[in-house]
């Protein structure tokens, strides 16, 4: 195949995959905001999981991997999340597809403070995680607390 033919074939395959994906999303009827929000949470958990495993001694400490997970987490926490927390995407409106409580939008200042707590705790972890296991352990309490504090108030 020429390069152009390969490109066209590739694009055609990509559009088939994209429309198959769309069909699936419509079948599940999950709001794209909810989908994105839960995906972000999964990325939080994926990175936190490595740090938590190292803190508990279940995963061998590796400075480079710990530093990477912590800086990923800090970067994710600091992204602009305006659209991820769009009004009208609470569980009273959308039902069981989301665990986001209406209280998020009724207490937006407190919710913003809980988001800031995660930004700060993950930045502290990003500074500490690559510098030794003791530092990682020291930053873990505040970080886990930032996740849990928001879930307790705002997640079903």
CA distance 124 to 151: 20
Sign of the Cα torsion 112, 117, 120, 122 reads negative
Which tokens is 51 given? Answer: 């740090």
Choose between 41 and 63: whose C-beta lies nearer to ligand HEC. Answer: 41
Q: Are the C-beta atoms of residues 37 and 45 closer than 8 Å to each other?
A: no
Choose between 24 and 45: whose C-beta lies nearer to ligand HEC. Answer: 45
147 near ligand HEC (CB under 6 A): yes
CA distances from 116 to 38, 43, 69, 108 (A): 19, 18, 19, 12
- Other C-beta atoms within 10 Å of 49: how many? 12
Residue 40 CB, nearest approach to ligand HEC (Å): 8
Choose between 38 and 107: whose C-beta lies nearer to ligand HEC. Answer: 38
Choose between 48 and 139: whose C-beta lies nearer to ligand HEC. Answer: 48
37 near ligand HEC (CB under 6 A): yes
Using alpha carbons, select from 46, 153, 31 the residue that is nearest to residue 93. 31
Per-residue mark of binding to ligand HEC, 107-146 (x: CB under 6 A):
----x--xx--x---------------------------x
Number of residues located near ligand HEC, criterion CB under 6 A: 21
- Other C-beta atoms within 10 Å of 32: how many? 11
Q: Among 16, 21, 34, 136, which residue interacts with ligand HEC (rule: CB under 6 A)?
A: 34
Residues in contact with ligand HEC by the rule CB under 6 A:
34, 37-38, 41-42, 44-45, 48, 98-100, 111, 114-115, 118, 146-147, 150-151, 154-155
């Amino acid at each position: 195949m020429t390069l152009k033919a390969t490109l066209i074939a590739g694009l055609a395959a990509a559009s088939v995959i994209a429309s198959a994906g769309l069909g699936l999303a419509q079948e599940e009827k999950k709001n794209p905001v909810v989908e994105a929000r839960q995906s972000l949470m999964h990325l939080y958990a994926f990175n936190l999981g490595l740090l938590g495993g190292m803190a508990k001694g279940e995963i061998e400490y590796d400075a480079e991997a710990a530093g990477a997970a912590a800086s990923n987490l800090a970067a994710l926490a600091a992204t602009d999340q305006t659209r991820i927390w769009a009004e009208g995407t609470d569980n009273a409106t959308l039902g069981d597809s989301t665990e986001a409580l209406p209280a998020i939008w009724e207490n937006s200042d407190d919710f913003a403070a809980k988001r800031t707590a995660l930004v700060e705790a993950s930045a502290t972890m990003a500074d500490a995680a690559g510098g030794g296991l003791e530092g990682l352990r020291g930053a873990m309490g505040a970080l886990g607390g930032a996740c849990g504090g928001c879930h307790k108030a705002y997640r079903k």
